[in-house]
Copies of this chain bind each other. A is one copy, B any other.
């Protein structure tokens, strides 16, 4: 399955901050076929540094970030469903973000890009779904920040979604989650190459961005998975170096991941997207999370992982309990995994059966026919 990126253009997008963004592009991919009734569409929401390439193989041979979950006979079965994924607003993988050209100046936005929210991100996805002529989504699904978008969808557009699958996520960022993001942001702005966000004509703030990514990677793994993967093993040596070069495998891994990230991600996008996560609070303005979820009309499958300490299970339980207090249809699974937050991406054995079973029930109850219809 070779994937292909498509682009949609929108003249303007109103934002929570009060500004309006002009000339907005959205990069998206889709897999499978839309049925004749246009009722079998599933919107996949990507996490922080993900992109539209969720499944299949891109022309350069790279598999999608959730290729193990999306495809024929997989959890999101492309023989049955039309699966859609777009790069988020503020990103740097085809959708308008701080590295895009500001139509007013003819130069990249940099820090003149407006601060965006998860609701803004979802508002643009809604425009895309409308543009594709999909009246209602069978499901919205995503892990981590993708789960925040899934939750925002059912609150912002309750009659647009049959089912919501928030995975390894939270209804609001905690102080610790904000703290990790703020550390990453400070690492970036501390880099002199950051230059107030105007670095597109010169070297990017590579060292700061790499440090930010190193912090991130620690939080995505678990103590246990790091012990299993690295332990105290030395890297290409028999004994300690008594120097500041790499001694341990885990040091090598983090440095590699940090430097590799610089080649594929924009530092300003790092700032904007982490800020959107930190601002996220589904209960915002409502007296409680349960009250904010009062009027949703979707069925829910909430999944968390035992060793995920970045988005711990208690945060999923807050969502579940709020939904149950309003008698919504919610299934909750805490899956056993040693992979930490990464589990939703890499440890998908149990997740697959649970998701496919849930989707089959939702599709049946919604009277959805299988794919092989019109193609968007």
Task: Show the binding face of A for B, using Cβ within 8 Å.
Answer: 16-17, 111, 114-115, 172-176, 178-180, 182-183, 185-187, 189-192, 207-208, 210-211, 214-215, 217-218, 221, 223, 226-227, 229-232, 240-244, 247-251, 254-255, 258, 271, 275, 278-279, 281, 309, 312
Contact = CB atoms under 8 A, between A and B. Distances in A.
Contact of A191 (B182, B185, B190, B241): B190
Nearest to A209: B190
A16 B185 CA distance: 38
Given A114-B242, A187-B187, A214 B176 contact: no
Given A183-B215, A211-B190, A215-B215, A115 B243 contact: yes
Given A232-B281, A251-B178, A242 B115 contact: yes
Contacts of A173: 232
- For A173, A179, A186, A249, the residue with the greatest tally of chain B CB atoms inside 10 Å of its CB is A179
Nearest to A185: B244
A250 B178 contact: yes
Contact of A258 (B17, B185, B186, B192): B186
Nearest to A244: B271
A240 B174 CA distance: 15
A226 B176 CA distance: 6
A226 B175 contact: yes
8 contacts: A114-B242, A174-B232, A175-B227, A175-B248, A179-B226, A183-B211, A186-B258, A192-B192
B232 A182 contact: no
Given A230-B175, A278-B247, A211 B192 contact: no
Contacts of A281: 232
A11 B31 CA distance: 73
A312 B218 contact: no
A199 B247 CA distance: 25
A111 B192 CA distance: 23
Given A175-B227, A179-B254, A210-B190, A17 B248 contact: no
B275 A244 contact: yes
